């Protein structure tokens, strides 16, 4: 692994810092729409299952279909954004989502719903890594955690803050109307993005436009212990995130006795918890790095400790009784599990040169999100084989919590950006190996 190239902000960015945050704000909205598009299926789970006559296992398979091409899309988008301006890639992705949502306003069959979710998953696979790659062109390494948290909060807000609105539309009109509204919102974002967005000017320091860039091979980058550690912890954390998106509203209703509207408000509380937690931990991480604290501690340990705590609290949730403990465990656990999705990409960007960053972020996200196809199906089967749905839900939570704890412990061992850069100095072979 090459010693990380120091990066600076060009004159263009130095004279236009406001636009950097405008871009971060647009990417926040981008991710909000992204997760609202995928969360609407879970928020409308009960009426969809009733309308189409589905069991929990069958609904889990439909939810899993979203991830059929999700990782493939993530890999393709990651490599594409290394060659095509991120402005155009992001606009194309949002357009795909919108065009997928609009047909859902009509009456659909199970087969049509599956095809729709597969196409939507392909378009959403590259969203988060491409959005971060675009943002990192505006912010240097020691100031990336906070804008990353803003973009991540957009994703989480789509799952939580938008939940009461979506649930209200489903209850007042139909689940078809909720899909249609999200498609229209996506089209509006595309217009705003194309009018305002531009590429960031951040480039590796000390290299003129006609000098060759240092290019470590992808093989070396993907063998980096920090990258592997982020992928493992991220996989386990994404298992929890998938449960939150697909099953948590139904869990709160069927296992813990909340009404659909109450479940929507609890989902909003989860998002509010994340809005408080993620910027705070991101500011802490950036501040520690600027004070000279190694990234292993400032980023890696903070992310792994948060994931470990999330797993422990999920196990506590599985054994909880009473409204207050259930709400508290739900909000805290599903807030903490998302810290890795903020600090993990920052760690990967620290050990990856900018000309390889889009692909490494995209592939790592594809590996992380492999939990997506597994979690809904396994959870649905566990719930169905239980004596009662409530018993199956608690068992599924125990499985998820145990997996998350294991992943966090592995992350503590593997993640160490400083050691990776010292262990893998750049040599001439890295510069000549093909991409």
pLDDT for 32 equals 86
* Res. 46: pLDDT tops 80: no
Read off the DSSP letter of residue 301: I
Weakest mean pLDDT among 60-64, 177-181, 311-315: 60-64
Of 396, 401, 258, give the one whose Cα is nearest residue 334.
Answer: 401
What are the pLDDT digits (tens) for 384-398? 776 676 777 788 888
For residue 152, tell me if it sits in a domain: yes
For residue 7, tell me if it sits in a domain: no
Virtual torsion, Cα 230, 232, 236, 242, nearest 10 deg: 70
For residue 135, tell me if it sits in a domain: yes
For residue 11, tell me if it sits in a domain: no
For residue 8, tell me if it sits in a domain: no
What are the pLDDT digits (tens) for 212-247? 445 667 788 888 899 999 999 999 999 988 887 677
% of the chain with per-residue pLDDT over 70: 85
Block residue for tokens 């240092």: 214
Split into its structural domains, the chain has a count of 1
For residue 100, tell me if it sits in a domain: yes
Of 30, 158, 16, give the one whose Cα is nearest residue 87.
Answer: 30
* Res. 164: pLDDT tops 50: yes
Weakest mean pLDDT among 10-19, 288-297, 309-318: 10-19
For residue 10, tell me if it sits in a domain: no
Q: Between 339 and 5, where is the model more confident?
A: 339
User: Torsions phi, psi of 109, nearest 5?
Assistant: -95, 175
pLDDT for 431 equals 33
pTM, rounded to two decimals: 0.71
How far is residue 187's CA from residue 318's CA, in Å, rounded to a whole number?
A: 40
Q: Which helix (H) or strand (E) holds 289?
A: helix 260-290
Find the CATH number of the domain harbouring 116: 1.20.1250.20
Tokens at 196, concatenated: 């305002």
Domain extent for 306: 16-201+216-432
Q: Residue 328, class by beta-carbon neighbours within 10 Å (0-12 exposed, 13-18 middle, 19+ buried)?
A: middle
> CA triplet 359, 378, 108: central angle to 5 degrees?
80
For residue 207, tell me if it sits in a domain: no
On the CB side of 28, how many CA atoms lie within 13 Å of its CA?
14
User: Torsions phi, psi of 209, nearest 5?
Assistant: -65, -20
């Amino acid at each position: 692994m090459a010693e990380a190239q120091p990066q600076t902000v060009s004159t263009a960015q130095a004279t236009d810092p406001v636009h950097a945050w405008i871009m971060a704000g647009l990417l926040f909205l981008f991710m909000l729409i992204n997760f609202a598009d995928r969360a609407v299926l879970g928020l409308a789970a009960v009426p969809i299952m009733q309308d189409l006559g589905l069991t929990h296992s069958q609904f889990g398979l439909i939810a899993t279909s979203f991830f059929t091409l999700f990782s493939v899309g993530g890999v393709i988008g990651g490599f594409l954004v290394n060659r095509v301006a991120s402005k155009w890639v992001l606009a194309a992705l949002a357009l795909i989502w919108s065009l997928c949502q609009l047909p859902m306003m009509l009456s659909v069959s199970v087969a049509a719903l599956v095809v729709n979710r597969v196409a939507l998953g392909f378009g959403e696979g590259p969203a988060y890594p491409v959005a971060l790659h675009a943002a990192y062109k505006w912010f240097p390494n020691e100031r990336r955690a906070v804008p990353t948290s803003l973009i991540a909060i957009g994703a989480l807000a789509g799952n939580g803050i938008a939940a009461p609105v979506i649930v209200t539309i489903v209850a007042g009109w139909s689940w078809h109307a909720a899909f249609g509204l999200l498609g229209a919102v996506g089209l509006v974002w595309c217009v705003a993005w194309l009018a305002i967005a531009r590429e960031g000017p951040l480039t590796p320091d000390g290299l003129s436009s006609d000098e060759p860039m240092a290019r470590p091979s992808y093989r070396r980058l993907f063998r980096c212990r920090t990258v592997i550690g982020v992928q493992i912890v991220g996989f386990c954390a994404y298992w929890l995130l998938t449960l939150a998106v697909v099953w948590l509203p139904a869990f709160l209703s069927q296992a813990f006795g909340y009404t659909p509207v109450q479940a929507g408000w609890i989902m909003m509380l989860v998002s509010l918890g994340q809005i408080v937690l993620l910027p705070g931990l991101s500011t802490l991480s950036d501040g520690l790095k600027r004070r000279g604290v190694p990234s292993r501690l400032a980023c890696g340990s903070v992310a792994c400790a948060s994931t470990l705590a999330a797993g422990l609290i999920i196990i506590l949730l599985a054994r909880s009784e009473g409204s207050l403990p259930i709400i508290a465990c739900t909000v805290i656990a599903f807030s903490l599990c998302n810290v890795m999705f903020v600090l993990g990409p920052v760690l990967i960007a620290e050990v990856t040169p900018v000309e390889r960053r889009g692909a490494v972020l995209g592939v790592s996200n594809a590996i992380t999100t492999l939990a997506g196809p597994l979690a809904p199906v396994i959870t649905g089967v566990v719930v169905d084989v239980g004596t009662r749905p409530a018993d199956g839900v608690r068992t599924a939570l125990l499985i998820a919590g145990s997996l998350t704890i294991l992943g966090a412990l592995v992350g503590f061992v593997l993640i160490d950006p400083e050691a990776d850069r010292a262990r893998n100095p750049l040599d001439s072979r890295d510069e000549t190996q093909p991409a």
